[in-house]
Amino acid sequence: MIKNSAAEMAQSLASGATTSVALTQAHLDRIADVDSKVRAFLHVDTEGALKQAADADAARARGEKLSPLAGVPLALKDVLVQKDVPTTCGSKILEGWRPPYDSTVVSKLKNAGVVILGKTNMDEFAMGSSTENSAYGPTHNPWDLTRIPGGSGGGSSAALAAFEAPLAIGTDTGGSIRQPAAVTGTVGVKPTYGGVSRYGLVAFSSSLDQAGPCARTVLDTALLHEVIAGHDPKDSTSINAPVPQVVAAAKSGDVKGMKIGVVKELNGDGYQSGVRQRFEESLELLAQAGAEIVEVSAPNFEYALAAYYLIAPSEASSNLARFDAMRYGLRVGDADGASAESVMNMTREVGFGREVKRRILLGTYALSSGYYDAYYGSAQKVRTLITQDFNNAFAKCDVMVSPTCPTTAFKIGEKTNDPLAMYLNDIATIPVNMAGIGGMSLPCGVAPEDGLPVGFQIMSPVMQDQRMYSVGAALEAALLSKWGAPLLSQAPSLGGAA
Amino acid sequence: MSSLSRDDVANLARLARIEMTDQELENLTTEFGVILNAVARVQEVATTDVPATSHPLALTNIFRTDVVIPSLTPEEALSGAPASEEQRFRVPQILGEEA
């Protein structure tokens, strides 16, 4: 039962073949069986999940009109607040904090009857590409437990790949939904910026952060997308327009006549050979499905990484000032006569990890008087150039595509002492965040040299998210008929009772 | 090229209110040399004729209607406080008084 898609689970619930309580219990059992190896969850809310499941079953028994995903379980990235459930953002500074309110994403999930199993591991405050920056230890990739599951949302993607949940929520500031999806053989979507409310999403880089849906199939991702998307007056950057029709697009998967632009600069040197091979094969499949493949150029993308590592730390240095040991979270050194400033200094020293401190200081420098124009100001100009590159390219194609990541999953510990090497994982995902457009990653095979999943990235213009779902569904269908079974059926069993 | 001294990094840590150890300052000074050289590349194309983009959406002055909606109770608002007193956050000494 747990290996089914969320859409299939929803169908079993609707037909009465199973109940949400049984489905939820099956996932809780799976978590108990395998999570000591995967470590996808920071907190499992057994009692709360079973209660939500019972509520969904009761509503169904009463004959209420239910949302398509009512009663289906989900894993929530620990950066979105859920009332009375611990939220840590992977940081010691928030250990034990129980938020007094629900984020809008959580309210929407609850209203739709989706069952929240628990909170998933992540790089501290979403800063990282491997979950190794979590203060609570790394998550392990279900494909190979010695490897990283991507980051920052590695817990959410690993939970999907390990069949601990059929649905998950991630957040994507520079690739934190798409890169974990790529390296775990799952699907992840960063919606258009403003497409999903950020209310109750603990801020890292406010002009880049976007919550989005994660699942094992394109249709499941679309179903979840429609549950969480939409205008929210509590988020002033939320777009007040109808949600793109992503479910219809995922169901049709029609790419006939669509122009698919291959980004010249996001391929070639620095990309693993198996990654390039699977990417090229996917292009052929899309051409066979009726799409026209064209080449597009984005000359300024090569500056995106540099600009990102100025803009995101700058915004983070400001956003993380709220962790001041006064209103919530950790407080250290509050002895008699200690000043507020010394308490703040000591708390932030103890509460923040290495990468978070590195980025706060980098951002403080980039914003400081005398250096602002050279660093933060220049990065903002690069952001304009990247957006122009996208606009020029989208004049020639309907969607743009590239490999999601230059490589497959690397070993835990391999890059922890080389921040720049770690940052390079995001080279193909960052441009999307800079321009605020939509991006999807879906599995397109395993690299022949290491047997690990490869991600295919699809990028669509602002509020045209349905386009990436059409292309994703077409590619997924073509690959499925080629393989005969979903890619995840090739992953190791983890020894659970599944 | 861009480089920062250990004292520069210590000053940034002070501004960011993080009390760092000597070892941390040492490590960051080395790492910043490498990172700043990499990110300084933005200056190659950031010419004066290029406008800056601070945000992906061109939004200004978004208001919502001025209606009273339920908000957190004092107990809820203070529920995560490290210390509280009389429905207020209790904070350490702020002004530099003589002990």
CB contact under 8 A, B16 and A435: no
CB atoms within 10 A of CB A384: 19
**A414 lies in some domain:** yes
Task: Give me the phi and psi of A295, to 5 degrees please.
Answer: -100, 135
CA distance A51 to A305: 44
Domain range for A434 is 6-301+383-490
Q: Is A65 a catalytic residue?
A: no
The answer to whether A126 touches A173, Cβ cutoff 8 Å, is yes
DSSP H or E segment with residue A47: helix A46-61
CA distance A80 to A74: 13
Q: By CA distance, what is A463's nearest residue in B?
A: B57
Residue B1 near chain A (CB below 8 Å): no
Task: Give me the phi and psi of A401, to 5 degrees please.
Answer: -135, 155
Q: b vs e for A203-234, b when ≥16 Cβ sit within 10 Å of the residue's Cβ?
A: bbbebbbbbbbbbbbbbbbbbbbbbbbbebee
CB contact under 8 A, A100 and B96: no
Residue A237, token pair as written in the block: 């950057």
**A224 lies in some domain:** yes
Residue B37, token pair as written in the block: 């050289």
**A372 lies in some domain:** no
Residue A344 near chain B (CB below 8 Å): yes
Question: pLDDT-based confidence at B98, cuts 50/70/90?
Answer: low
Considering only CA atoms, which of A175, A146, A140 is closest in space to residue A161? A140
CA distance A477 to A285: 10
Residue A197, token pair as written in the block: 């409310």
**A312 lies in some domain:** no
CA distance A106 to A108: 5
Q: pLDDT tens for chain A, 498 residues: list them.
A: 999 999 999 999 999 999 999 999 999 999 999 999 999 999 999 999 999 999 999 999 999 999 999 999 999 999 999 999 999 999 999 999 999 999 999 999 999 999 999 999 999 999 999 999 999 999 999 999 999 999 999 999 999 999 999 999 999 999 999 999 999 999 999 999 999 999 999 999 999 999 999 999 999 999 999 999 999 999 999 999 999 999 999 999 999 999 999 999 998 888 999 999 999 999 999 999 999 999 999 999 999 999 999 999 999 999 999 999 999 999 999 988 899 999 999 999 999 999 999 999 999 999 999 999 999 999 999 999 999 999 999 999 999 999 999 999 999 999 998 888 888 899 999 999 999 999 999 999 999 999 999 999 999 999 999 999 999 999 999 999 999 999 999 999 997 554
List all residues 6 or more positions away from A10 whose beta carbon is below 8 Å from its beta carbon.
A68, A69, A70, A71, A72, A223
Considering only CA atoms, which of A148, A146, A198, A200 is closest in space to residue A173? A198
**A343 lies in some domain:** no
Contacts of B81 in chain A (CB under 8 A): 326-328
Residue A15 near chain B (CB below 8 Å): no
Residue A437, token pair as written in the block: 């457009």
Domain count, chain A: 1
**A364 lies in some domain:** no
DSSP lists the bridge partners of residue A230 as: none
**A323 lies in some domain:** no
Q: By CA distance, what is B15's nearest residue in A?
A: A364
Nearest to A420 among B21, B35, B44 (CB): B35
The answer to whether A75 touches A100, Cβ cutoff 8 Å, is no
Residue from A107, A205, A359, A365 to probe the interface with B (highest B Cβ count within 10 Å)? A365
As for the ipTM of the complex, it is 0.94
Contacts of B44 in chain A (CB under 8 A): 303
CB contact under 8 A, B56 and A435: yes
Residue B73, token pair as written in the block: 């109770």
3-state SS, residue B34: helix
**A375 lies in some domain:** no
Residue A381, token pair as written in the block: 């100009």
3-state SS, residue A194: coil
- pLDDT value of residue B1: 45
Q: What is the CATH number of the domain that holds A233?
A: 3.90.1300.10
CA distance A441 to chain B (A): 21
